[in-house]
C-alpha cells in the first residue's frame, strides 16, 4: 500500500538555524501538488509560527519514522505510515502557505508502550539525580528509552537532544542557551509524567 520499504530512511528536512526546508527529500514518496521548484526553500523569519511548526512537525516525522523501523506488526506499521504521510503533507502545506501555519495542528501520537508504576517510582529519583548535571541528559534519555521502547515523546526529545548536543560540542550554543533549557525542562516533565502512570 505504501511506497516505503522495510529499510525506510529516516531524516530531518527542516534546518532551524537557516529556516530552510528540503522539499525534494520531504516530497519523496508523498503525493503532493507543489507549485514551486523542488529543492531547498527558505521560510521568511517573519513567519515565526511557520518555522516553529515546521520544526515540531519535523521532529515528529523523524520520531515516527524511527518508531516505524522498530515495529513488526503490519497493521501498526501501516497506521504509522499513514500518520507519517499526513505529517509530511502538513509540512508541505506550511512550506507553501507559511501565513496559514495557525491552521495546522501538530498531531499527538499515543505512546505505544507503558511501564509499571513500581518500576518508574524506583527509577524516578535516580533519573532526577542524574539530571543534576547537563552532561547526563543523554544517559537519562537512554535509560528512559530502554524502559519505554518506541515511546514517540522520548524519541522526539532524543532527536532534539542530538541536534543540540552537536551544537554544544561545536561551540554554537552552550548549556545556558534557551533551547537547551527548554529541552532540559521537557526531559524533567517526561520523567514526572511517566511517574504518574
* Residue-by-residue DSSP string for 13-60: -EETTTTEEEHHHHHTTS-----S-SSEEEPPTT-HHHHHHHHHHHHH
Distance between CA atoms of residues 180 and 43, nearest Å: 23
Whether the model clears a pTM of 0.85, i.e. scores above it, the answer is no
Show the domain range for 143: 117-195
Which distant-in-sequence residues (6+ apart) come within 8 Å of 76 by Cβ? 112
Based on the domain organization, do 99 and 147 belong to the same domain? Answer: no
Q: All 3 cell numbers of residue 149?
A: 521502547
Domains identified in the chain, total number = 2
The segments of the chain whose pLDDT lies below 50 read 1-5, 110-122, 196-197
Residues 127 and 140: beta-carbon distance below 8 Å:
yes
Residue 27 is predicted with a pLDDT of: 80
The answer as to whether 53 is a domain residue is yes
Residue 167: Cβ within 10 Å count: 17
Question: Is 2 domain-assigned?
Answer: no
pLDDT tens, position by position, 12-30? 888 877 888 888 888 876 6
Are residues 130 and 136 in contact, defined by beta-carbon separation less than 8 angstroms? yes
Asked which of 103, 135, 162 is the last residue of a domain, the reply is 103
One domain, residues 132 and 71? no
Amino acid at each position: 500500500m505504501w511506497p516505503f520499504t522495510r529499510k525506510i530512511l529516516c531524516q530531518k528536512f527542516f534546518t532551524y538555524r537557516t529556516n530552510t526546508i528540503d522539499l525534494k527529500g520531504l516530497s519523496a514518496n508523498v503525493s503532493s501538488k507543489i507549485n514551486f521548484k523542488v529543492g531547498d526553500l527558505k521560510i521568511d523569519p517573519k513567519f515565526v509560527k511557520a518555522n516553529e511548526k515546521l520544526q515540531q512537525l519535523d521532529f515528529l516525522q523523524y520520531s515516527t519514522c524511527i518508531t516505524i523501523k522498530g515495529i513488526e506488526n503490519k497493521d501498526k506499521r501501516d497506521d504509522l505510515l499513514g500518520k507519517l504521510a499526513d505529517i509530511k503533507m502538513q509540512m508541505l502545506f506550511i512550506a507553501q502557505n507559511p501565513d496559514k501555519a495557525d491552521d495546522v495542528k501538530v498531531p499527538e501520537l499515543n505512546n505505544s508502550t507503558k511501564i509499571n508504576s513500581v518500576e518508574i517510582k524506583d527509577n524516578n529519583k535516580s533519573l532526577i539525580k542524574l539530571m543534576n548535571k547537563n552532561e547526563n541528559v543523554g544517559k537519562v534519555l537512554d535509560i528512559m528509552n530502554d524502559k519505554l521502547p518506541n515511546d514517540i515523546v522520548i524519541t522526539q526529545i532524543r532527536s532534539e537532544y542530538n541536534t543540540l548536543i552537536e551544537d554544544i560540542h561545536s561551540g554554537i550554543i552552550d548549556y545556558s542557551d534557551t533551547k537547551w533549557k527548554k529541552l532540559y525542562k521537557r526531559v524533567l516533565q517526561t520523567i514526572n509524567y511517566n511517574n504518574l502512570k
